[in-house]
Structure 1
């Protein structure tokens, strides 16, 4: 039998990227509301201009709502006018997975949490300098961690904090 440290995959910023085992995933999914499940697990989208984090301007970190992995820094957030929180770059490029999305007759790039695989939003090449990218994210996919509070570094910690 392997120990968690033997199978853990760590990001360059020190966060555990190991996917949740089935029992932990089940607990994380069961903690989501119906609307959160629709977006995070079924690749849905919340209506524009209604998300609770759209107008948040506080310093901190935006983490995956399901597994708590940090995905975006507040300093990368900008007002895109699209109705969803938008960021110029991820917290750590290893924390997001980009996947070609051909749903709805369009070709887009979907953003998934690299640890739990939950749907976050889409990325577009029409953002401001210096990256020129717009990571367009559903508020409901995120949990905001204010500056001064430490994001959870491992999935075990995220699961323990949630239950």
Structure 2
């Protein structure tokens, strides 16, 4: 099933299919994301708007649309793929700061905060943010140092925990990611 996180009709169609076929959604993984590398002096509001539409508003659009199906599940969980590039600590205290992008980094910080606010506001659903790490994907021209499997370790671990999963966390394959 094709799903465009920037399009309400596409998201609504996906919700309808899942609702008709299963009637509930146990785990929602929000993994859509796009990158942007405009230098700080060149970034515009339109650059941010473009990334936020997918990276942030897409998470909210899809989560909101699937809430009724999540609430119908016994132990629902939402996993939002964020990034260590959205960590304030990483962007101020590590060598990763030099790779920063105003649009991308701020969008991933927003994803993590949205995750925490959902966790606080919807205690019947577990919400967690995950940093896949520098994984070789199309987003970075396959230059990442991790395999896709390594990049998905934290997502899969959380998904398999079921009702025992925590809520309101930001983790990667090695544990807690500093905020």
Which structure has the larger Rg over C-alpha atoms?
2
TM-score (structure 1 length as normaliser): 0.26
TM-score (structure 2 length as normaliser): 0.24
Higher strand share: 1
Higher helix share: 2
**RCO comparison, higher one (Cα < 8 Å, 6+):** 1
